[in-house]
Amino acid sequence: MELITRYNGSRPYYVNIKNGIVNVYIKSECNYEHYDNSDDEIGEQNPQDESFYLQWSNLLLHGNDHNLETDSETDSQNENESKYESDMEDRYMLEQQRNIEYDEELDSYNYKVLCFSCMYTNILTTNNSCLIEIRNNEYIFIGKNIIKVQTLSPIVYFESKVGNSDVYNSWAKDLCNNYYLFNEHVILLNNEDTLCDPYKYYFENYVICDIQESLCEFDIKRFFCGMEEYILTWSVDPCYDYVRMTNNNLNLVVVSKFNEIKFLDRSTWFELHEKFGLYKGFQSMNHTIIHQVT
């Protein structure tokens, strides 16, 4: 099985699924954003080194006890790279001999750099993305990027439909009616309604203004960062947003319908987002970015 992921007009990944193994390739001219955890202790690596991506993927999936390639295997790496290029060339020639019509932009031959590989126990696919189960409640999503996701219960449904500007809204539903919005890294918890469009539901309900007074002991109508007014919305990462908005020593201010003013310090900012998330049933997705093409 093969597919090429689609997002916002781009085609980030070519995915090849065969014999219980998923291999993901990117184009050699792509820019790379490679994410790792400080605990992984991998250090600086060449982002176009195929063996490094495989090592890093396995480390992320299996932990620090995974056996990485040793120095004695350096020669075999070069042989494998040559063999891979040769195989891709043979495949390309075979496609030409069969007179297969193809779009050069979408031709899998253009995807020459292996960025991720893993085995799987189950896989859910659409024509533009896929969700791979690697163990109980652990999944790999491949769409606009590659992320590892920890779910609250097993996934039973996966969908990815096109939205505006060729953006595919990928989401999944688990056994306990939790909805996972992969583009936003959000979980909609225990939603009793059957949501045909979870993204629409989320964006219609994530504005914090006009919330009940009991949530923050203050009836918020307006929000300012410094002198600029913004719409105050729930954040999946309030720590990052607080640092980003206060980076230039700007004050965060909310105004009530009676024009009362209240400054939001770090603790009240976090408390507000926590209470609103509980009230609306929003939770940040437990995920790790494995790879992202920019």
134 shares a domain with 36: yes
Q: 194 or 20, which is more confident? A: 20
Chain center to CA of 94? 35
188 shares a domain with 227: no
188 shares a domain with 87: yes
**Residue 198, domain member (yes or no):** no
**Residue 94, domain member (yes or no):** yes
Q: Which domain covers residue 268, as residue numbers?
A: 213-284
100 shares a domain with 42: yes
Question: Mean pLDDT for the chain?
Answer: 76
**Residue 206, domain member (yes or no):** no
**Residue 58, domain member (yes or no):** yes
Is 146's pLDDT higher than 60?
A: yes
49 shares a domain with 170: yes
121 shares a domain with 14: yes
Is 147's pLDDT higher than 90?
A: yes
**Residue 205, domain member (yes or no):** no
277 shares a domain with 134: no
107 shares a domain with 34: yes
User: Residue written as tokens 């999936």?
Assistant: 61
21-30, 179-188, 258-267: which has the highest mean pLDDT? 179-188
219 shares a domain with 173: no
**Residue 208, domain member (yes or no):** no
Residues 31-59 have pLDDT tens digits of 555 444 434 333 333 444 444 444 444 54
Q: Is the whole-model pTM more than 0.85?
A: no
Residues 157-199 have pLDDT tens digits of 999 887 666 778 899 999 999 999 999 999 999 877 778 889 9
- Please give the tally of structural domains in the chain: 2
262 shares a domain with 220: yes
- At residue 236, the pLDDT reads 94
DSSP 239-280: HHHHHHHTTTSPPEEEEETT--EEE--HHHHHHHHHHHHHHH
Both tokens of 32, joined, read 């790379």
Q: Report how far residue 16's alpha carbon sits from residue 48's, in angstroms, rounded to the nearest whole number.
A: 19
**Residue 200, domain member (yes or no):** no
Phi-psi region of 209 (alpha: psi -120 to 50; beta: other; left: phi over 0): beta
240 shares a domain with 189: no
Residues 218-260 have pLDDT tens digits of 678 889 999 999 989 999 999 999 999 998 888 999 888 778 8
CA distances from 13 to 133, 199, 204, 256, 291 (A): 18, 23, 31, 47, 10
139 shares a domain with 47: yes
